C-alpha cells in the first residue's frame, strides 16, 4: 500500500481502523488486509521493542493478527477504540512471549529507559504526528515515572520486579506508574 516506506503520515486513522475492524467482524478478508496495512507498523514496532529478536517479533505479529481476525466479531467498541484493542493484544502477546522464556537472560542494565531507542537507520520508520506527540509528552514525565512506565511496558516487568530493579518501595513504583500514565494522558489530550 505504501510505495514510499520512508515517511507516511497517518491521518484520522482512528476512525478508519474502527470502520475496518467492523468489516473484518463480518468476515471481510479484503478489509482485514487493509487493516493490516494500517496497523502492522505499530504492531511490529511494539513487538520488536518488547521481544527484541526480529524473528520472534514476526511470530508475535502473526499471533496478534490471528487473534484480531478470530475475535473481531466479539470486539466491543464501547470499551475503547479498535487501535487500543489491537495494541493491548500486541502488548499482551509480546510480554507473554518474553515471560514464557524467563530462562532467557535479559540484561536490565542495558535496557533501562535511559537508553536511546535503538533504531537501525536502514529501517523504514513510519512517522505519524501522534507518534511525535507521544515522544514529546514522554519528556514531561519525571525520570522515575518514565523509568517505571517504560520498564513495565517495554521490558515486560511487573511492578514488583521494577521496584526491585530500581530499589524503591513497591507503593512508590505503583504510584509512579499511575501518575506517569496520567500525566502522559493529559499531555496527549492537550496535544490533540
Q: Which of 110, 131, 122 has its CA nearest to residue 46?
A: 131
* SS3 at position 123: coil
Q: 46 or 166, CB closer to other proteins?
A: 46
Please say whether the beta carbons of 94 and 60 come within 8 A: yes
Q: 79 or 103, CB closer to other proteins?
A: 79
In the bound complex, what is the minimum distance in angstroms from residue 96's beta carbon to other proteins? 9
Please say whether the beta carbons of 50 and 155 come within 8 A: yes
Q: 103 or 117, CB closer to other proteins?
A: 117
Based on its alpha-carbon atoms, the radius of gyration of the chain, rounded to whole angstroms, reads 17
In the bound complex, what is the minimum distance in angstroms from residue 104's beta carbon to other proteins? 19
In the bound complex, what is the minimum distance in angstroms from residue 28's beta carbon to other proteins? 6
* Cell numbers 520488536: residue: 48
Please say whether the beta carbons of 151 and 165 come within 8 A: yes
Let me know the angle formed at the C-alpha of 112 by 54 and 107, rounded to the nearest 5 degrees.
60
Q: 104 or 156, CB closer to other proteins?
A: 156
In the bound complex, what is the minimum distance in angstroms from residue 176's beta carbon to other proteins? 8
Amino acid at each position: 500500500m505504501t510505495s514510499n516506506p520512508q515517511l507516511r503520515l497517518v491521518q484520522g486513522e482512528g476512525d478508519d481502523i474502527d470502520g475496518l475492524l467492523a468489516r473484518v467482524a463480518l468476515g471481510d478478508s479484503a478489509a482485514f488486509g487493509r487493516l493490516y496495512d494500517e496497523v502492522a507498523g505499530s504492531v511490529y514496532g511494539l513487538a520488536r521493542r518488547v521481544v527484541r529478536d526480529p524473528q520472534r517479533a514476526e511470530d508475535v505479529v502473526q499471533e496478534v493478527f490471528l487473534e484480531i481476525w478470530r475475535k473481531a466479531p466479539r470486539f466491543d467498541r464501547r470499551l475503547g477504540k479498535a487501535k487500543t484493542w489491537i495494541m493491548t493484544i500486541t502488548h499482551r502477546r509480546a510480554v507473554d512471549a518474553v515471560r514464557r522464556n524467563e530462562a532467557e537472560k535479559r540484561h536490565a542494565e542495558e535496557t533501562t529507559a535511559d537508553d536511546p531507542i535503538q533504531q537501525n537507520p536502514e529501517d523504514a520508520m513510519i512517522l505519524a504526528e501522534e507518534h511525535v506527540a507521544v515522544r514529546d509528552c514522554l519528556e514531561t514525565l519525571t525520570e522515575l515515572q518514565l523509568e517505571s512506565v517504560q520498564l513495565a511496558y517495554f521490558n515486560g516487568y511487573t511492578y514488583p520486579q521494577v521496584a526491585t530493579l530500581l530499589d524503591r518501595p513497591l507503593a512508590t513504583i505503583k504510584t509512579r506508574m499511575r501518575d506517569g500514565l496520567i500525566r502522559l494522558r493529559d499531555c496527549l489530550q492537550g496535544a490533540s
